[in-house]
Amino acid sequence: MKALGVLVAIALSLALQTTLSRFVVGGSVAVDVVLVAVIATALTIGPVGGMLAGTAAGLIQDALSSGVIGIGGLAKTIVGFLAGAFGQQFIVTAALPRLVIFVAGTVLHGVVYMGLYSLLDLREFPSPWKPLAAQALGNALVGIVAFGIIESLPGMVERRRARRVRR
């Protein structure tokens, strides 16, 4: 059931990301929804689910892009594993710890992703830190909002059912 939920989340995030990519500003996307989904999965399920989700999502994302297949997958696998491991060791139910994890996860993802591309001499990133910081903040905000929505969904459904029963 969890696996199905993860797959759905990844599929939705990919669909959303490809849709958002049309709103590119200055050559970079401010929010990586797929990465948000991977971190959220890792925090919810754990390191194994996080890294598997990161692998799958990253590979698909790489396949859909024109880059080297595997670089995004590797970056998201590492972030998924570490976020899951961190989530297992510490209480991350509050907004601030989640924000920190989203920011740190995004920075780590960016470092790995851009580092590998630079290392292989395939792409150049003249001033990576500004867009990366913007993406980290964007991801963190989206992630916190998404977490809030997901966590409030069961309660909303219960309240609607209760209202129907009263009528």
Partner 1 sequence: MALLDIRQRTGWLFGALVVSHIILISAQVTTKRGVPVLQEVTFGVFAELQRASTSALSSAQEGWQNYFALQQIRQENERLKKEVTQLSVSLQQERTAAQQTRTLQGLLDLKSGTAFQTTAATVIGSGADPEFRTITIDKGTQDGLRADMAVISPAGVVGRILMPTARAAKVQLIIDRDAAAGVVIERSRVGGLVSGIGSADALAFKAGLIQLEYVPGSADVKKGDRVVTSGLDGIYPKGLPVGEIQSAERVSGEWRIRLKPAVDFSSLEAVLVVLQVPEPPGDVKPAADGEP
Q: Which residues bind partner 1 (CB under 8 A)?
A: 46-48, 51, 55, 68-71, 73-74, 77-78, 81, 85, 116, 120-122
Asked whether the beta carbons of 144 and 102 are under 8 A apart, the reply is: yes
Q: Could you tell me the smallest distance in angstroms from the CB atom of residue 85 to partner 1?
A: 8
Report CA-CA distances (Å) from 81 to 13, 53, 84, 113: 19, 9, 5, 16
**Cβ nearer to partner 1, comparing 123 with 130:** 123
Nearer to partner 1, 74 or 146 (CB): 74
Give Cβ neighbours of residue 5 (< 8 Å, ≥ 6 apart).
none
7 versus 156: smaller Cβ distance to partner 1: 7
- Which parts of 52-120 are beta strand (E)? none
Q: Other CB atoms closer than 10 Å to residue 8's CB: what's the count?
A: 11
Q: Considering beta carbons, is residue 121 or 124 the nearer one to partner 1?
A: 121
CB 81, min distance to partner 1, A = 5
The token pair at 131 is 């867009």
Shortest Å distance, C-beta 117 to partner 1: 10
Residue 68: phi and psi, rounded to 5, are -80, 130
CB 52 within 8 A of CB 80: yes
Judged by CB, which is closer to partner 1: 54, or 138?
A: 54
Min dist. Cβ of residue 120 to partner 1 (A): 5
Does residue 86 contact residue 45 with C-beta atoms inside 8 Å? no
